[in-house]
Structure formats: C-alpha cells, structure tokens
Amino acid sequence: MKYLFEQILKKYREKSGVTQEIMVDLLSHNSSKLKKLDNVTFSRWERGITIPPFKKQIEIYQLLGVDPIDEIIDSNIELPKIDNENYFAIDYYTYGNSDFVTHVLNRNTLSGLDSVLEEMELIIDSDYYFKQLIKSTGKNSIKKSIESLMAKLNAEIIICKYKSRLIAHSITLYVSPDFLKDLMCNEIDYTKIKNYASNNPLIISFYASTNDSLKYILGRILTNFLDIPNIDSKLYFISGEKNIHKLFVKLNSKIKFNEFIDDKNYKLSEVTKLNINHSKDALHFLVDFRRMEYEK
C-alpha cells in the first residue's frame, strides 16, 4: 500500500505539471484534514519515506479525482493479503477455471432463472428471513415469487457453482429502512411491497465457501453499492453466519439488530459509503472483483 500511494501521488503531480508546493496548496485548502500539510511532509510522502493514515490517503485520492483501483490494476500492483483464510475455505478451484460458473440474475436476465431454481430451493431452506419473504409473496411457486421480487424490489441474485455444486450466493433487494423493521417483526404486507422500494441495498441472503467466490460476490456487491448516485445510501445485510459477521466488521459495519432463531444469531448490519472508502479490506475486494471482470 505504501508503494501504491507514493506512486500515485508522484504520477498525478508530474502528469499535472505542477510543483510540490502547488500540490500542497491545493490539498491543504480543500480539506480540513489536510490543512496542516506542509512541503516537507508532502515530499516525504512522495519519496515513500513516510505515509499518511489510510483514511487520509482516501481523502487525497478523492480530491485528486484518482481511482486507486484502476491504478492498482493498471500498474499490476499486488496488495498484501487480507486475513480471510480463517473464515473461508482455501480454494481448490479458482475463478477462471472452466468448472467455476457464475450466474447474475435480475429483472433484465429473467431467462436464466430456470437454471438455478434447484439452488434457490436450497437457499430458501437455509435462510430464515428470505424464506419468510418468499412466503409473504403469496405466489404458488418459487419462480413466480422471485420474479415478483425482481419486478418490485429490483432483486438481484448471484450464484457461484463449481461442477454444478452451489458454493456461494447472494440475494440483494433495494428497500427502505421501513422494510428492515417490518421484516424483522414479520410484518411485511406484500400487497404494499412497492412502497418499500428504495435505493438502499439489503443483502438478505449471503454465503461464500471459498475465497474466490467471496471476492467475486462481495466485490460485485460493493461495486454496485458505490455506483449508486445517492451519497447517503446505506448497504444492509442479514446473516446468521459467524464468519460473515466477522467479515463485515472489517468493513466498519454497525450492528442494527440481532435475533436468535433456531440456535443462529441473525444480525442486521449497516455499512455506509464512507465506511467502505475507509476500509482496506473493501479495497481488496473491489480490486479483486474488477480484475476478475477484466479477465473475462
């Protein structure tokens, strides 16, 4: 990360054709966090002698209009590994392997729903809140229930399979905070479901059994969230899995609700765009996902 910061800083300044003094003036006058920045400190940053805290680096990238993810990929920089091996199995199969298949389903790709209905049954059986939501639709089939959620709450389903075996999934709905409260209280009135539609993504079901499937799914979720124009949008997720709880703590999430159901502690967590921008782990997932997409 140190090499990345000094490289971006120097590259941007030289490309802009300005002196270090002008860069110091630009940064210090446009951010309260950098108002004490001086020429000596900036010079030390650019030479890699010292490095500012990660939050301050993100502030500088934003002021300069630099996308660190693109810089990492363009320069082929390898980030230090994050400690997720304690929570997820080591991959015996990786993204790019012909047996590793991903399905991304939403209201624009409904034709692919039939191919994952068997997996959807498994997911519904294992996730309490998603099961309750499916029941609340009042539809006579899983397919019709999911189609309805896609139409009314812009639901997106990601499925990862290896040799036809489900290894990871996520189900995202775009809802208002009222939906979260009513869902937890089992008070969803599906006849008024459209009233819940909003731009806050809720990951109502999430699981990853390998590192590569985790990188793909979480990277896509975070990318989609950051692409939402509303800066105040919030990302919510519900999970009863301890490893998922630990993972989202690393994304600076806040626990909003928890409930024990069938010996599982289901937690509802909230993440803001600021949380993600200040998380080193989030940067890893965003970079890994974009690299995967570029390799397609």
Domain 100-295 fold: Aminopeptidase (3.40.630)
The distance from CA 152 to its chain's CA centroid, rounded to whole angstroms, is 22
Question: Alpha carbon of 193 to those of 64, 112, 190, 286: distances in Å?
Answer: 42, 24, 5, 32
How does pLDDT run along the chain (296 residues), one tens digit per residue?
446 788 888 888 888 888 999 999 989 998 888 889 999 999 999 888 888 887 788 888 888 888 777 777 676 666 656 555 554 544 555 555 677 888 999 988 888 889 899 999 999 988 888 998 998 898 999 999 999 999 999 999 999 888 888 888 999 999 988 888 888 788 888 888 889 999 899 999 988 888 888 888 999 999 999 888 887 889 999 888 888 888 888 888 998 888 888 888 888 899 998 888 778 888 888 888 888 776 65
Bridge partners for 162 per DSSP: 100, 165
C-alpha–C-alpha distance, residues 185 and 204, integer Å: 15
pLDDT at 8: 83
Bridge partners for 234 per DSSP: 272
Domain ranges of the chain: 2-74, 100-295
Question: Alpha carbon of 264 to those of 140, 225, 239, 240, 261: distances in Å?
Answer: 28, 27, 9, 5, 5
Residue whose tokens read 């390799």:
295
Cβ count within 10 A of residue 230: 10
184-223 pLDDT, tens digit each: 788 888 888 889 999 899 999 988 888 888 888 999 999 9
Residue whose tokens read 């810089």:
71
Domain 2-74 listed as CATH 3.30.565.10? no
pLDDT at 155: 93
C-alpha–C-alpha distance, residues 30 and 88, integer Å: 42
Bridge partners for 169 per DSSP: 159, 207
pLDDT at 6: 84
DSSP 3-state assignment of 274? helix
